[in-house]
């Protein structure tokens, strides 16, 4: 049940701004922004979409296989993957680059402004999906532009079902390229903002996108998620979090739940609910990989939230 996770490994520098961006940004002055945010709190975390998804999938008892490129400063991340017993045989070292770096500022309303240096991630096309060996499912998550295009094509050529998860990488692609991703993908997963951008760039409605894939998943934050599959609309409720601390990595935790459910033959209702629960567990902790529930904890939380136990088929 190995899940191939094509995406980034990155270091996240996360800063907390106590005010609201909306109070510092003037709508009629956006053409000449020159603002500074005082961020008295700062921390450095292990992140990147592939790293976050793999971490959460491992918590569920899944078998993540990360395909990514890292740079000369990657030793701490490599050591972490080894400690977590997450395979790094598809992680490639690029000696003359830095590992991808995200600089994230979060405000009092959990809005985020991110500056991202891709570094070694731009060389992700050097990795070939065929080198991963036998996998049951894959996800093409935000990564280098050429790598995302290639890995989607590789998965389709090898008949590996995969989730297209453009995330914050979506603006890199034009309409025809996004249509091609949809054509190749088995599933598409986006948040509500990305869904609007995807429909705008492709000229396709959500209904038309859903007709072209086995399932279209749209997450909507505290409003839960919608899954459009086989002519059905499956509404996934939001699981109440213990507390709302940091949204960084919540979408990745959700996608780990999707991968686990799909690779274990669960129905869409259960798969979506497990994904929703993983996002709720994550948001109560700072950073993308600092929550550490046991599998038993996750099972108990699921039963408490939904009244039944999730079981692999």
Q: Is 159 a catalytic residue?
A: no
Q: Exactly one of 12, 252, 267, 297 is catalytic; name it.
A: 252
Strand ordering across the sheet containing 87-93: 87-93, 63-70, 2-6, 137-140, 162-164, 187-191, 215-219, 225-229, 232-236
**Count of residues making up the chain:** 313
Q: Which residues pair with 47 in a beta bridge?
A: 10
DSSP string covering 95-161: TTSPPEEEEEEE-TTS-EEEEEE-GGGGGGGGS-GGGG-S-SEEEE-S--HHHHHHHHHHHHHTT--
Phi, psi angles (nearest 5°) of residue 109 = -100, 15
Query: Rounded to an integer, what is the distance from CA 294 to the centroid of its chain?
Result: 21
Dihedral class, residue 85 (left if φ above 0, else alpha if ψ from -120 to 50, else beta): left
Residue positions annotated with a catalytic role: 252
């Amino acid at each position: 049940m190995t899940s191939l996770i094509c995406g980034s490994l990155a270091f996240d520098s996360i800063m907390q701004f106590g005010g609201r961006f909306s109070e510092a940004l003037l709508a009629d002055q956006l053409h000449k922004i020159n603002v500074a945010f005082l961020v008295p709190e700062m921390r450095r975390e292990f992140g990147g979409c592939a790293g976050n998804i793999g971490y959460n999938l491992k918590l569920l008892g899944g078998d993540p296989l990360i395909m990514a490129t890292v740079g000369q400063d990657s030793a701490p991340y490599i050591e972490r993957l080894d400690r977590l017993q997450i395979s790094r045989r598809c992680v490639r070292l690029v000696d003359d680059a830095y590992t991808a770096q995200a600089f994230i500022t979060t405000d009092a309303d959990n809005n985020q402004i991110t500056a991202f240096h891709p570094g070694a991630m731009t060389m992700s096309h050097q990795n070939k999906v065929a080198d991963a060996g036998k996998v049951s499912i894959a996800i093409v998550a935000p990564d280098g532009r050429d790598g995302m295009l290639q890995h989607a094509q590789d998965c389709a050529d090898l008949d590996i079902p995969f989730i297209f998860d453009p995330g914050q990488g979506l603006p890199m692609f034009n309409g025809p390229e996004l249509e091609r991703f949809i054509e190749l993908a088995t599933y598409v997963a986006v948040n509500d903002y990305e869904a609007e951008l995807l429909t705008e760039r492709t000229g396709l409605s959500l209904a038309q996108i859903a007709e072209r894939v086995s399932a279209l998943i749209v997450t909507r934050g505290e409003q839960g998620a919608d899954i459009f599959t086989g002519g059905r609309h499956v509404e996934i409720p939001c699981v109440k979090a213990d507390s709302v601390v940091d949204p960084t990595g919540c979408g990745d935790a959700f996608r780990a739940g999707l991968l686990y459910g799909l690779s274990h033959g669960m129905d869409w209702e259960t798969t979506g609910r497990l994904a929703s629960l993983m996002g709720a567990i994550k948001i109560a902790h700072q950073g993308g990989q600092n929550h550490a529930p046991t599998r038993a904890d996750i099972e108990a939380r699921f039963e408490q939230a939904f009244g039944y136990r999730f079981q692999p088929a």
